[in-house]
Amino acid sequence: MSGDLVVSIVLVIVFVLVGGVFAATEMALVTLRESQINAIAQRGRRGETVAGLARNPNTFLSAVQIGVTVAGFASAAYGASSIAPSVTPLLEGLGLSVAAASTTATIVLTLLIAYLSLVLGELAPKRLAIQHNARFSYAVAPILGGFAVLMRPVIWFLSVSTNAVVRLLGGDPNKTGDKLSDEELREIVTSHEGLPDDERRMLDDVLSLRGRQVSEIMRPRPEVVSLAVDDSISDALETVRALPYSRFPVVDQSIDDIVGFVHVRDLFELPDRTIEVRKVVRPIPFIPATARILTTLTNLRASGDHIAVVFDEYGGTDGIVTLEDLVEEVVGEIFDEYDTETASAEMMEQGGAVDGRLNFQDFEEATGVTLPPAASDTVAGFVVERLGRLAVVGDRIDVDGGVLQVAAMDRRRISELHFTPTAAAETD
């Protein structure tokens, strides 16, 4: 094998590998997530260059295509013109004519170079780039940036031409891609094998909160226990001792006139039990019933508040919500010595008591039954809506997966229902 033939083979392989570097750089930049781009951008000037390329697809895609095209053309053309003449005599020795040997050598070398280009210049580099996209981008993208600067006139011409064609086909040349929808983001979270089950469930709960309002989880107005500003500390202590709460709203004239709240610790620490509650009232924030759960959670954490008044569109008190209520929507139920945990598995199989205040999502988690959309946010409201009248004890409605029966009333409000799964109902 002559020295010229060895040089020709080495050059062909070099051209193929150069094309592979361009292809891998393209794949690495395309697959970078925005969070990765932001992290790379914070790693100095080199990182800013990489981030700039990743956010400007017109520049790096044009540079990549120029590099891949030139490298591919060079490897194919150089291989056919420089290596084929050295292979032709070998084929002539096998009995082929000069013309047939030359044509066969060109075809075989073209196929061989195409194979090398696919494996070494496309598939393997791109697969490695996908597996290590951030590292590969940081290492190679600046080189691509320099090449892009060198080829700026050609890239400008290609970009103008590409933008014109994209507009002609009804596309937006400035759009980089569709944003992830809530459903796609949730699918990514639930299908991510690297996340433990509890983390996956928590993230899914956070995503499900988008769009949900505080009115869905608040303690409604009729169930709010309050203290009067002119109550004595002694009277207030008599009220709070029997209740499992640490904070109580304080009202002036009515529940629509909440002036603040008191913490039970403040009541017990006062030696003089004859003074009025107004002396220990703390300010309480007010939020609209339409406020988003996640936004409210963020605001309460930032302000250090643990309780807030929820007001309706007319300015009246709609209910109260606590920081614990909001946190439980993210991490699940938080049970203390006053809470009783119910077994969801037993509820799904045998049924059981259901609080009328339960919202649809909590009802589904407890029973496995999804209630159809309704105007009300609670199970009690759903039952009244289906009945079309005020409920009485014993009323029952059928739902997909079971039966709901009114078990207890608090005046005109359903305070408790009994859920019976379909299988258990059929057995009965």
405 part of a folded domain: yes
In this structure, the answer to whether residues 411 and 274 fall within a common structural domain is no
Q: Residues near 339 by Cβ (< 8 Å), separated by ≥ 6?
A: 244, 333
For residue 34, the one-letter residue type is E
Q: What is the pLDDT of residues 187-211, one digit of tens each?
A: 776 677 667 777 777 777 777 777 7
Q: Taking the mean position of all CA atoms in its chain, how far away is CA 101?
A: 61
- Decide if pLDDT at 338 tops 60: no
374 part of a folded domain: yes
Instruction: Provide the mean pLDDT of the chain.
Output: 83
31 part of a folded domain: yes
Nearest C-alpha neighbor of 54 from the set 170, 136, 156, 158? 136
Whole-prediction pTM: 0.52
Last residue of a domain, one of 306, 331, 356: 331
Instruction: Say what percent of the chain tops pLDDT 70.
Output: 90
In this structure, the answer to whether residues 154 and 49 fall within a common structural domain is yes
pLDDT at 260: 94
Residue whose tokens read 């739902």 = 399
pLDDT at 288: 94
In this structure, the answer to whether residues 273 and 387 fall within a common structural domain is no
What's the mean pLDDT in 157-165?
85
pLDDT at 336: 58
CB atoms within 10 A of CB 88: 20
pLDDT at 219: 87
Contact 13, 116 (CB under 8 A): yes
Number of domains in the chain: 3
Question: Which CATH number covers residue 394?
Answer: 3.30.465.10
Q: Which domain holds residue 399?
A: 344-427
- 382 exposed, middle or buried (CB, 10 Å; 0-12, 13-18, 19+)? buried
- Decide if pLDDT at 285 tops 90: yes
